[in-house]
């Protein structure tokens, strides 16, 4: 008679390892899942993108700072108390509590300015720049988004010669001819002029344009950069007001571009290398290539973007091991430009409504399989402007651009907006037990 109990025991011993193995495999596969991530939390090298050509232009930035040509209250103060100084522009802070005032004296050289801080009601709070400082590039002066700081570019002033401009002398009245008040007549006493606050002293200045910062009251003016020989000509605050994104070029590069532009009768378009500068002055250069397109911040302050001809580059703004990623767009722009040119040609023919006009020739399969010749495409042009409007949306504009010294002779044509839609590459992580 067979021993069924021994048989059942043997089968159980054989099945036990298989069940344990199946259980382990089940836990291995169930212990992994795709973790959703945000654009800001992943490094630049782990971004996916989708190219969308010829889209509507981005909406205007509601946080864009307003530059007033003249604030009426500030202008009145200059007219009444500062006759030897000329107001150039006023820049209100985002919270409208302070006004940065750009002005110059009648004896100053052109393109050299001074900076004061006013209250919102047009009263002088403090003179910010010393007499030895010359503020340059006044169009780039910018408040931080939280209104706590202001950044500007300045360098050592070139002192102008005495132009012989003096106040009109007060005529002397002989004592014996002095007017004697008649009985009951009241003689008005002249109101003394309100003294203007003295300019600060002891601020470090350099022989090339450096970035300076000050607080909202105009105090604490300091040189954020101290790289003599570099010209900082563009800078933008991060949305969280903690860092500045800047472009800088050497003085030799600047003078070379000036000479080349002057020989062609063109306006000089500066080119610089991109860098991030923290409030403590720590600086990190992001790229060795020059660009003339102003770089931009992502909306969450985690990344910055720059354009080089037909390429977009994304850089991590912080982190222990920051990365960067290049997005070459030449092929995509060639294909979309070919389609754009054909569509414009079709629209032009339809508008002419000429029955004898030949229809647009359709591309052959061979032509569709090869890239078009860029020399035959009038709408194929480099990137001239970028705008990061949302964490996952980066707009960029291509155009033919030529700036002349005479603005009336400048040319801008075939302006087209495109965009990149970013997505984060998913990462796989294990569940915690």
Could you give all domains of the chain from N- to C-terminal order, each with its CATH number?
44-58+330-430 (no CATH), 72-160+198-321 (2.140.10.30)
- Looking from the CA of 318 toward its CB, the CA atoms found within 13 Å total 15
- The side-by-side arrangement of strands in the sheet containing 383-390 is 47-52, 411-424, 393-402, 383-390
Mean pLDDT (whole number) for 204-218: 97
**Exposure of 397 by Cβ count < 10 A (0-12 exposed, 13-18 middle, 19+ buried)?**
buried
For residue 124, what are its two tokens?
A: 């002088």
The pair of three-digit structure tokens given for residue 76, joined into one six-digit string: 């009145």
If pLDDT is split at 50, 70 and 90, which confidence band does 367 have?
low
**250-265 residue pLDDT tens:** 999 999 999 999 999 9
Cross-strand partners of 4: none
Distance CA 56, CA 335 (A): 19
Closest CA to 401 of 387, 411, 389, 415: 411
Q: What is the pTM of this model?
A: 0.80
- For the chain, how big is the Rg over CA atoms in Å? 33
The encoded tokens of residue 28 equal 């291995």
pLDDT tens for 94-152 read 999 999 999 999 999 999 999 999 999 999 999 999 999 999 999 999 999 999 999 99
Distance between CA atoms of 316 and 423, rounded to whole angstroms?
15
Q: What is the pLDDT of residue 149?
A: 98
Residue 198 pLDDT grade (very low, low, confident, very high; cuts 50, 70, 90): confident
- Which among 102, 143, 99 has a CA at the least distance from the CA of 120? 99
Which pLDDT does position 356 carry in this prediction? 60
Mind listing the pLDDT tens digit for each residue in 325-350?
Answer: 999 999 999 999 999 999 999 998 88
Among 61-65, 153-157, 190-194, 342-346, which is the least confidently predicted range? 190-194
Statement: residue 365 has pLDDT above 80: no
Angle at Cα 15 formed by Cα 12 and Cα 20, nearest 5°? 120
* 142-143/149-156 β-pairing: antiparallel
């Amino acid at each position: 008679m067979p021993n069924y109990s021994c048989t059942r025991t043997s089968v159980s011993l054989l099945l036990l390892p298989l069940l344990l193995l199946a259980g382990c495999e089940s836990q291995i596969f169930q212990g992994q899942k795709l973790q959703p991530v945000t654009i800001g939390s992943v490094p630049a090298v782990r971004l996916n993108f989708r190219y969308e050509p010829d889209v509507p232009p981005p909406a205007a930035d509601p946080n864009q700072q307003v530059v007033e040509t003249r604030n009426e209250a500030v202008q009145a103060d200059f007219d009444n108390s500062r006759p030897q100084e000329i107001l150039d522009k006023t820049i209100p802070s985002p919270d409208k509590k302070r006004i940065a005032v750009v002005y110059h004296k009648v004896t100053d050289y052109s393109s050299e300015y001074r900076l004061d801080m006013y209250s919102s009601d047009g009263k002088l709070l403090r003179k910010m720049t010393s007499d030895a400082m010359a503020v340059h590039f006044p169009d780039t002066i910018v408040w931080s988004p939280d209104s706590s700081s202001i950044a500007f570019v300045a360098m050592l002033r070139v002192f102008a010669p005495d132009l012989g401009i003096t106040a009109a002398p007060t005529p002397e009245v002989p004592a014996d001819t002095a007017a004697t008040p008649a009985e009951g007549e009241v003689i008005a006493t002249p109101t003394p002029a309100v003294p203007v606050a003295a300019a600060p002293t002891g601020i470090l200045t350099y022989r090339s344009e450096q970035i300076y910062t000050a607080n909202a009251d105009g105090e604490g003016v300091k040189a954020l950069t101290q790289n003599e020989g570099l010209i900082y000509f563009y800078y933008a605050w991060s949305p969280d007001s903690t860092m500045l994104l800047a472009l800088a070029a050497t003085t030799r590069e600047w003078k070379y571009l000036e000479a080349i532009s002057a020989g062609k009768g063109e306006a000089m378009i500066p080119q610089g290398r991109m860098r991030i500068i923290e409030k403590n002055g720590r600086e990190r250069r992001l790229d060795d290539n020059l660009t003339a397109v102003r770089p931009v911040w992502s909306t969450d302050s985690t990344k910055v973007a720059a354009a080089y001809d037909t390429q977009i580059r994304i850089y991590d703004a912080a982190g222990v091991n920051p990365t960067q990623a290049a997005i070459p767009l030449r092929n995509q722009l060639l294909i979309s430009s070919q389609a754009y040119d054909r569509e414009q040609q079709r629209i032009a023919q339809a508008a002419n409504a000429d029955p004898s006009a030949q229809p647009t020739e359709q591309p052959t399969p061979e032509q569709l399989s090869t890239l078009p010749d860029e020399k035959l495409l009038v709408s194929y042009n480099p990137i001239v402007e970028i705008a990061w409007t949302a964490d996952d949306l980066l707009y960029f504009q291509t155009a033919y651009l030529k700036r002349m010294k005479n603005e009336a002779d400048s040319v801008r044509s075939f302006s087209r907006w495109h965009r990149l839609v970013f997505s984060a590459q998913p990462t796989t992580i294990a569940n915690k037990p």
